[in-house]
Structure 1
Amino acid sequence: MTISRLNPDGLHHTPGYHHVTVVSAGRTAYLAGQCPLDADGTIVGLGDYAAQVDQVVANTVAALAAVDAEPEHVVRTVIYVVSPRQEVLSAVWDRFLVSPLAPAFTTASTLLGVAQLGFTGQLVELDVTAALPDET
């Protein structure tokens, strides 16, 4: 499997992600939206974006590991943040970029401010697609 990432000429400069990700044929994993829930299903970090990002990262790393994938195998992310404020979205993005999941955000990525997510008190959710390593 080969993953290629590029920023075509004529498109705006990005803050670290790539406009286009191309994957050679192979297996793909589509993760359910990763939420800031602990193993008991309790929301972590009520009112705290950073704590929720950290839990989402931990959950995503665990989900990727379950299919023998790592952050480098991620080919698409969508980050949902409950806030209309650009500075909050930027802070969430920055927190992801210094996390163990950071390599996942060098690929095609989207960051969205939304009105509400599925769980009461949930501020962050991450949607991930990964190109899986070839089976041995």
Structure 2
Amino acid sequence: MTEKITRINPEQLHATPGYHHITVVEAGRTAYLAGQCPIGPDGDVVGPGSVLEQVDQVAANALVALAAVNAEPHHVVRSVIYVKSDDRATLAAVWSRLNASALAPAFTTASTLLGVAQLGYSGQLVEVDLTAGLPG
């Protein structure tokens, strides 16, 4: 059985660049993934100073985490993207890169993109927090 996931953009709310204002998941199991960081298998931050290289590693790590619970990007029902920057062009570049990745279907759902002052690892520029409605 596949969980029913409905994504909604009420006409009364502003148009979005690809995400939906509301995501509804009918009863079922949910997976809350820890924030996926640009950390490679060796435990080091990948792409120091390169936000786009870090986005690629974050997307790869998120795909592994989703697969571990038998989920795919289209099962994601909520995403929060954290970028260590207050520059709108940098935030837009991160959004574009994620939406060009294999993880892209995750960002058609309820999504938030935030510029933040600091992230957990030294040199870390991006992190993605995902919640998925698991298939039955």
- TM-score by length of structure 1 reads 0.98
Moved over 4 A (4+): none
Residue identity matched to 2:41: A
Q: Distance in 1 between matches of 2:109 and 2:15?
A: 14
Residue identity matched to 1:20: I
Q: Which runs of 5+ in 2 are unaligned?
A: none
Structure 1 equivalent of residue 115 of structure 2: 113
Q: How many residues align?
A: 134
Q: Distance in 2 between matches of 1:11 and 1:111?
A: 18
Structure 2 equivalent of residue 33 of structure 1: 35
Residue identity matched to 2:11: D
Give the superposition deviation at 1:40.
1.5
Q: Which runs of 5+ in 1 are unaligned?
A: none
Structure 1 equivalent of residue 103 of structure 2: 101
Q: Distance in 1 between matches of 2:46 and 2:132?
A: 25
Q: Distance in 2 between matches of 1:86 and 1:12?
A: 19
Q: Aligned Cα RMSD in Å? A: 0.4
Asked whether 1:75 is paired with 2:56, we answer no
Q: Percent sequence identity over matched residues?
A: 67
Which structure features the higher share of strand residues? 1
